[in-house]
């Protein structure tokens, strides 16, 4: 599991990354941080979706083909809006309560996944991730978790 080295503070964010699956045929997750937990979003051969809800069944990962994925989460009144773009083309536009799909992290986990975006690969499948970017929207902030300069 790869945690982005920032703590996301706010409900509005956008993250983008390029990936290439180099072998295998299994999906990966990106975790959406929400208060008190996180929501795993599966990116796979036949879907983009939550554990128990497919948001599209038209997405295919092709081995050795670079793909750019951009996800945007914004408030929509009391609900949340999730938009997913593949190679800059809109693929998913979902509105509803993300909390309905929340997983609470184990209390023994020293990290707080409810504040971090992460990437998680499954099984005997290899991925290469590049050009990972995070942008906070609508006044949200992100706190760097590593020093940006070398201490004296």
Predicted confidence at residue 65, as pLDDT, reads 96
Q: Give the C-alpha separation, 132 to 68, whole Å.
A: 10
| DSSP states along 118-139 | EEEE-SS-EEEEEEEEEEE-TT
0.75 surpassed by pTM: yes
Predicted confidence at residue 114, as pLDDT, reads 61
Cα end-to-end distance, the chain, whole Å: 31
Q: Give the C-alpha separation, 89 to 92, whole Å.
A: 9
**For the segment 48-90, what is each residue's pLDDT rounded down to a tens digit?**
999 889 999 888 899 999 999 999 999 988 899 999 999 999 9
Ranges in the chain, pLDDT < 50: none
Q: Please, which contacts does 96-99 make with residues 24 or more away whose CB atoms are closer than 8 Å?
A: 98/32, 98/34, 98/39, 98/73, 99/34
Predicted confidence at residue 64, as pLDDT, reads 97
Are 100 and 83 in contact by the 8 Å Cβ rule? The answer is no
């Amino acid at each position: 599991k790869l945690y982005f080295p920032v703590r996301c503070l706010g409900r509005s964010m956008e993250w983008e990354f390029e990936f290439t699956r180099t072998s295998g045929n299994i999906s990966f997750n990106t975790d959406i941080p929400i208060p008190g937990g996180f929501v795993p979003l599966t990116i796979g051969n036949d879907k983009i979706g939550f554990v128990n809800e497919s948001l599209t069944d038209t997405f295919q990962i092709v081995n050795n083909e670079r793909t750019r994925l951009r996800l945007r989460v914004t408030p929509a009144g009391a609900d949340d809006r999730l938009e997913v773009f593949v190679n800059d083309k809109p693929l998913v536009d979902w509105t509803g309560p993300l909390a309905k799909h929340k997983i609470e992290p184990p209390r023994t986990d020293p990290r707080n996944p409810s504040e971090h975006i992460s990437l998680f690969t499954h099984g005997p499948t290899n991925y290469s991730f590049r050009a990972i970017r995070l942008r906070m929207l609508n006044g949200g902030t992100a706190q760097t978790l590593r020093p940006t300069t070398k201490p004296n």
